[in-house]
Chains A and B, each alone.
Chain A
Amino acid sequence: MAAKAYAPLQVCLHWLMAVLIVATFAGGVYVAGLSLSPAKFRYLAWHKWAGFAVLLLVIMRLAARLRYGAPALPGHMSPLAQGAAHAGHLALYGLMLAVPLTGWLMSSAKGIPLVLFTVVPVPDLVAANPELAERLAFWHTLLAYTLAAFIGLHVLAALKHHYLDRDGLLFRMRLRQP
């Protein structure tokens, strides 16, 4: 448990997901502003594929977290700061699950099944239901923006540790330790 850094698998998943989530979020915002067109169909499909990959990766990531745990937080942090860090990480995990799940649910409720990379069909979670689809669209959007806000705080906190506290926290999420 008292490892100094995250396991290599956890580090890889962290950065892969960071890139995917930022791209999926930006793609979602862009697609929501498009009117119906071939471009909208194309980018929305990419958004769904990337978002579904995030869902699969976060499940792997939770499994890795349970298997390898996490290194202890720096000793200089107050109990309050440690509690906030744990709560923030818990919220990130929850949101990383909830955002793609509401997207998948919305897609099903809209009556548009998910077909990964145009070839792998994914089962529908609920039957087509336009009213439900509208409510899910609201939740998908709200949760996605909440996730973006938490990621913003997460980045700020990491930068504070690195530049102000100079406690080397950022190195824990690197493959090679200094």
Chain B
Amino acid sequence: MKKQILALALCLPLWAQAQVLDATASRLDFTLTQMGVPMKGSFRAFKAEVNFDPAKLAASRADIRIATTSIALPAADAVNEAKKPDWFDVARYPEARFVAGQFKQLAPERFEVRGKLTLKGVTREIAAPFTAKVQGKKLLIDGVLPVSRLAFNIGDGSWRDTETVSDIVKLNFRLTLIQP
């Protein structure tokens, strides 16, 4: 976390107008279902270069980079497994990335982002609804996005069996951005 803040601070001059991610109040979680049992995990390390202005959607954009090795799951053997080639193949694909430049307002404080998600070398266009709330100098972004893990070959080989591990994985993102 400290390293990320430092890295962000160093990048700041280049992104003078971008909002700064408050890493301690931001999370990328996911929930998968295993034999009907919801299991939570998260990515601990990610960087977000976001410039989101509810009043200027056309100029808004987001670029989120996730370190796949930072995956966290309830059990150590699950973390080991998740890093293997059948799952995230972190040796070959250390980074997942979401780049978006299309925003749409759905309702007051509710928006939709459309962008490209690259996971394990597969890029797909996805759209996710989210809420954005202003709290003083902070902008709180919250969203849930169901994604098909198999669309990105996450959980290949024998793991393709969706009777044990569901295909749909729910991504929950919460970003706290500090306005410049």
A residues with a Cβ closer than 8 A to B are 35-39, 41-42, 44-45, 110-115, 117-119, 128, 130
Contacts of B37 in A (CB 8 A): 45, 112-115, 118
Contacts of A118 in B (CB 8 A): 35-37
B residues with a Cβ closer than 8 A to A are 34-40, 74-78, 80-81, 158-159, 161, 163-165
Distance to closest chain A CB from B37 (angstroms): 5
Q: Which of B35, B75, B80, B158 is in CB contact (< 8 Å) with A115? A: B35
Q: Known interface pairs A45-B35, A113-B37, A115-B36. Does A38 touch B161 (Cβ–Cβ under 8 Å)?
A: yes
Q: Is the CB of A37 within 8 A of B36?
A: no
Q: Is the CB of B36 within 8 A of A112?
A: no
Contacts of A113 in B (CB 8 A): 37-38
Q: Is the CB of B35 within 8 A of A41?
A: yes
Main secondary structure of the interface of A (DSSP, over half): loop
In the assembled complex, the Cα of A65 lies from the Cα of B37 at a distance in Å of: 35
In the assembled complex, the Cα of A44 lies from the Cα of B161 at a distance in Å of: 16
Q: Is the CB of A41 within 8 A of B39?
A: no
15 A-B pairs with C-beta separation under 8 A: A38-B158, A38-B161, A38-B165, A41-B35, A41-B164, A111-B39, A112-B74, A114-B37, A115-B36, A115-B37, A117-B36, A118-B36, A119-B36, A128-B74, A130-B76
In the assembled complex, the Cα of A4 lies from the Cα of B158 at a distance in Å of: 55
In the assembled complex, the Cα of A35 lies from the Cα of B77 at a distance in Å of: 9
Contacts of B39 in A (CB 8 A): 111-112
Most buried by A among B35, B40, B159: B35
Contacts of B40 in A (CB 8 A): 111
Q: Is the CB of A36 within 8 A of B78?
A: yes
Q: Which of A35, A42, A114, A115 is in CB contact (< 8 Å) with B164? A: A42
Known pairs A38-B159, A115-B35, A119-B36; list 19 more (Cβ under 8 Å): A36-B77, A38-B158, A38-B161, A41-B164, A42-B35, A42-B163, A45-B35, A45-B36, A110-B74, A111-B39, A112-B37, A112-B39, A113-B37, A113-B38, A115-B37, A115-B38, A117-B36, A118-B35, A130-B76
Contacts of B34 in A (CB 8 A): 41
Distance to closest chain A CB from B172 (angstroms): 17
Q: Known interface pairs A110-B75, A112-B74, A128-B74. Does A36 touch B164 (Cβ–Cβ under 8 Å)?
A: no
Q: Is the CB of B81 within 8 A of A36?
A: yes
Q: Known interface pairs A115-B37, A118-B36. Does A38 touch B164 (Cβ–Cβ under 8 Å)?
A: yes
Contacts of B161 in A (CB 8 A): 38
Q: Is the CB of B78 within 8 A of A37?
A: no
The list of the 5 closest CB pairs from A to B, nearest first, reads A118-B36, A111-B74, A45-B35, A38-B164, A115-B36
Contacts of A110 in B (CB 8 A): 74-75
Contacts of B159 in A (CB 8 A): 38
